Amino acid sequence: MNDNDLEKTQKTLLKNTLAMYREGLIFGSWGNLSCKLGEDKIIITPSALPYDNLQYTDMVVVDLETGTVVEGKWKPSSELPLHLAIYKSRRDVQAIVHTHSIFSSAFAVARQEIPVALEELAQLAGGNIPVAKYALPGSDKLADNAAKTLGTESFGVLLANHGLITVGEDLEAAAQRSRVIERNAQVLLWSNLLGTPGLLEKEEVKELRRKFLYFYGQHK
Ligand SMILES: [Zn+2]
């Protein structure tokens, strides 16, 4: 890992953090993002700094195994244990986005999983978004609950009475899943006002996901 790679990753992390903040999915400093830096380190947003003044050099490099700060002038996000637990349990995950977005949080408070109502959620997540049991923010227990509920297949997990976690093969993918889950949650709640929402069947979700993976976009 050279300095250019570090700077590039710091800038990508800043860009995605500011996007989530400006879109209202993160508010104040409630919400955090991270991504892998090589095989044995991660880079994560700092703890409790106002995001509107955030610079790429504020991002903190942490050792994946020990959780100690390798580089950076600030304390890492207080949800560091949560990020580390997910990277350790899911080797496929390269990036994590944690938001306190309103409609996803409504499901997290109701402690109800988010079912698949929109095609884009089926395409990007391939299934319902489960809820991890409540535990104190920043605690090892929360990290453990979230990693276990995320399991080996899910791309998102709600934290009871707290917010949403999404994972991905890079920051853009994890951020886009966060947006799509939030839209799906919002549409479902509005749809409830009109009557009983019609949800996609498991087989329909599978088919949408498969078509998206293998036939969508510019595939030849
Ligand atoms: Zn949080």
CA 76 to centroid of ligand 1, rounded, Å:
13
Range of the domain at 85: 3-215
> Is residue 6 a contact partner of residue 37, using CB atoms and an 8 Å limit?
yes
According to the model, what pLDDT value does residue 210 have? Answer: 94
220 within a domain of the structure (yes/no): no
Catalytic residue among 79, 113, 201, 207: 79
> Is residue 66 a contact partner of residue 19, using CB atoms and an 8 Å limit?
no
According to the model, what pLDDT value does residue 193 have? Answer: 96
What tokens appear for 66 in the block? 């020990």
According to the model, what pLDDT value does residue 1 have? Answer: 61
100 within a domain of the structure (yes/no): yes
R_g over Cα of the chain: 17
CA 204 to centroid of ligand 1, rounded, Å:
32
Q: Which residues contact 189 (CB under 8 A, 6 or more apart)?
A: 103, 106
According to the model, what pLDDT value does residue 219 have? Answer: 59
CA 26 to centroid of ligand 1, rounded, Å:
9
Per-residue pLDDT tens, the chain, 220 aa: give them: 677 789 999 999 999 999 999 999 998 889 999 999 999 999 999 998 989 899 999 999 999 999 999 999 999 999 999 999 999 999 999 999 999 999 999 999 999 999 999 999 999 999 999 999 999 999 999 999 999 999 999 999 999 999 999 999 999 999 999 999 999 999 999 999 999 999 999 999 999 999 999 988 775 5
Sheet arrangement for strand 31-37 = 69-71, 60-63, 41-44, 31-37, 95-99, 163-168, 156-159, 131-132
Our count of domains for the chain comes to 1
Q: What protein residues have CB closer than 5 angstroms to ion ligand 1?
A: 163
Active site residue 182: no
195 within a domain of the structure (yes/no): yes
Q: Residue 10's domain is classified under what CATH number?
A: 3.40.225.10
CA 139 to centroid of ligand 1, rounded, Å:
11
185 within a domain of the structure (yes/no): yes
CA 57 to centroid of ligand 1, rounded, Å:
22
Alpha carbon distance 13, 15 (integer Å) = 6
According to the model, what pLDDT value does residue 29 have? Answer: 83
According to the model, what pLDDT value does residue 9 have? Answer: 97
